[in-house]
Amino acid sequence: MSDRTDTHTNWLDPDQLETVRGQVPLVYVDAIPVQVNEFGVVTHVGMLLRQAPDGSISRTVVSGRVHLNERIREALLRHLEKDLGPMALPQIPPDPAPFTIVEYFTDPEISGFHDPRHHAVSLAFVVPVSGDCEPSQQALDLGWYTPEQATSQEMRREMTSGHDRLIRLALASVGVLP
C-alpha cells in the first residue's frame, strides 16, 4: 500500500477511504435533474433507479463526492455526465449555489438523511438538463416524473436515504411542490 494518495485522480484507495469515512465527514453534491418548459418552470424531475448505499434498490438523485481541488461546478458536471450521459447538457451557472445543505448520518434518526457508510455533508442543487439522457451502467433506469408523480406516496416508498424529502425540498425551492 502506498503512503501517498493519487492526487492525479483524487481517489483514495479503498483502505484509505474506509479510514477517512470513519473519522471525518466527506463533501458530496446531490443534483436533482429537471426538465423545464419555455418559461423556465420545472415540468419533470429525473430520478435514477439503482442500488442505494444501504443495499436496497431505490429511486435516487444524482450524487457523488467532491474531489480534492475540484470546484463544486466541476463535481456537478462530472456526476451528471457520468450518471445521465454526455447528452444531458446540464445548465449549471458559472457560480452555482445550493438550494439546501444535507447532512447524511450513519444513524437515520439524526437528520432523516441516511448513509450507512459514513457522515457526509452534501450541497444540493436543482439542475435543468436536456431530455436526451441515458442512465449510466451503474443505474438500472432513469425515469422522468411530473412534480405530482415525484412526490406521490408510491414514489416515496421507492426512495431511501431521505431522497423523498430531498425531492420535496427541491420542488419547493423552485415553486412547484404540489
Q: What is the pLDDT of residues 113-139, one digit of tens each?
A: 999 999 999 999 999 998 788 888 778
Domains of the chain: 24-173 (3.90.79.10)
pLDDT of residue 165: 97
Q: Which helix (H) or strand (E) holds 83?
A: helix 72-84
Strands 42-51 and 57-60: antiparallel
3-state secondary structure of 174: coil
Per-residue pLDDT band for 9 (boundaries 50, 70, 90) equals low
Q: What is the pLDDT of residues 48-99, one digit of tens each?
A: 999 877 778 999 999 999 998 999 999 999 999 999 998 999 999 999 999 9
In degrees and rounded to multiples of 5, residue 168 shows phi and psi of -65, -40
Q: Give pTM, 2 decimals.
A: 0.87
- Would you say residue 4 has pLDDT above 70? no
Per-residue pLDDT band for 7 (boundaries 50, 70, 90) equals very low
